[in-house]
Amino acid sequence: MSTNERVRALLKKTKHSFLNFDIFPSAEPTIDEHQLRNQRISTRLFIILLTISLSILVLYTSLVHITGTVNVKTPSIQEYEQLYNSYNQTLTCECTQISINYEKFIQIQYTLHQVCYSDFVTQKWINYLATSNVTYGKYTDDFRSSGTYVFQTISAFCTLVNQTILNRLTEFNSSQYVSASVTPSSIFQLQTNAFISQFKSSTRIDFLLSLSMIRNITQSNALFSGRLTNYAPYITAGVITRYPAVYGNCTCSYSATCISQSPIYNLLNGKRLFYVPGLYTGCYVIESLLQSGLQCFYNQTCINKLQSYFQVSSLMNVTALNASLSVQFLANSTIADVLEQLMVEEWNNSSMYENYYSECQPSACSYTVTSKNSVIYIVTTLIGLIGGLITVLKLMVPYLVEFIMFCIKKCKGRRTTITPLIQT
């Protein structure tokens, strides 16, 4: 037999085996053609349904996404940041300590206006001005008479502002930051910046409101100035009468903010020898000082000239203020402008996320991951299901084929019993 004939014979034998393949043989061998046909149809239907079912299972298990939870115990801050960068939508890290004082992770430092650290607010300078303060009679607005009180007031402002900020800082540091879970670094920075900004704003506003209230009470009650610079009392016929002081075209009875530039007089003829640049005198020391500036005290020449009018044996060696050292205020800024900013030249703030994380002490972090099933999972799933699937199909298919064949046979029987209606 040639090779072609062997191949044809093998193909013929294979085709015959395929056409007659039967996995539902009857209990006893039969030659009933109808029964054999049903068995072959059942076998083919079984193979088709099994193939379709397996295909659906493979497709489903390979496309479906599974979600799992991963737990990480006591992560370091570096591990937390890596996890947050990858799983920020689902990452949660519960804090062991949910309330933390601000002082643990926020630092606020400040530098006051340089005048508060200068020679001009020292007791030595104030005593020096007091020593040069002789009795000037009616010349109460002369700087040699008023200078002591001006710089005492500036010194008092520096002390008051500093104490106010320290008191508010104590309250601020004892405030607590509450978070049940770790706050991400970006949100933490925004929150702490808001806390610091609110602290600065509230401290400044409260101080200015207190100062404004004191000024309003003093002005509305027309209280006598300690140096009698707003009213001069006179006793006439046993009755005390007060006469308001006049500064320029302004009278203290109408306004407590009347001012005129602070002069130095020639005591012999009352002639004004010198005006202190930027400095004013008025009804009240505070009111005139708020409208004054420190221009003269930024200039060493001006300071020396000012001291030349003092009646002292030797000049005091003082260093002028340095305008180049200021980042917030100008040399011609008024004291009111300086107080408006709490006399703070510069704020140095910092929030330390590492300290916050250390205080929070997360015991564990958890996050969810979504992925597709692996090949091993798909194979093991199919192996676990295929046995039951084969059993179910083997039980159902033969009965399904018999039912279908019965229905077909019944339909054919009805067609043969119908006779045509003959019309006459």
Report how far residue 252's alpha carbon sits from residue 223's, in angstroms, rounded to the nearest whole number: 11
How far is the C-alpha of 141 from the C-alpha of 146, rounded, in Å?
A: 6
The mean pLDDT values, 10 residues at a time, for the chain of 424 residues are 66 59 57 66 78 84 78 92 91 93 95 95 91 66 90 96 96 94 94 96 95 91 85 78 88 92 87 93 94 95 91 82 90 95 94 94 89 77 81 78 76 63 47
Could you tell me how far CA 100 lies from the centroid of its own chain? 16
Residue tagged 């005593």 (tokens): 127
CA dist 115 and 343 (Å) reads 9
The strand pair at 92-94 and 99-101 is best described as unpaired
Residue pair 112/348 in contact (Cβ under 8 Å)? The answer is no
Q: Which of 116, 114, 218, 98 is nearest to 160 (CA)?
A: 116
Confidence at residue 424, expressed as pLDDT on a 0 to 100 scale: 44
pLDDT at 267: 79
The Cα 321–Cα 117 span in angstroms is 10
Q: Of 287, 145, 135, nearest to 223 (Cα)?
A: 287
d(CA 12, CA 34) in angstroms, rounded, equals 24
Q: Give the model's pLDDT for residue 422.
A: 47
pTM above 0.85, yes or no: no
Q: What is the pLDDT of residue 21?
A: 58
What is the Cα–Cα distance from 34 to 414, expressed in whole angstroms?
20
**Per-residue confidence (pLDDT) for residue 42, from 0 to 100:** 76
Distances (CA, A) of 151 to 73, 145, 388: 62, 12, 99
In terms of phi and psi (left: phi > 0; alpha: psi -120 to 50; beta: otherwise), the region of 222 is: left
pLDDT in the model for residue 57:
82
3-state helix, strand, coil in the chain (%, to 5): 55, 20, 30
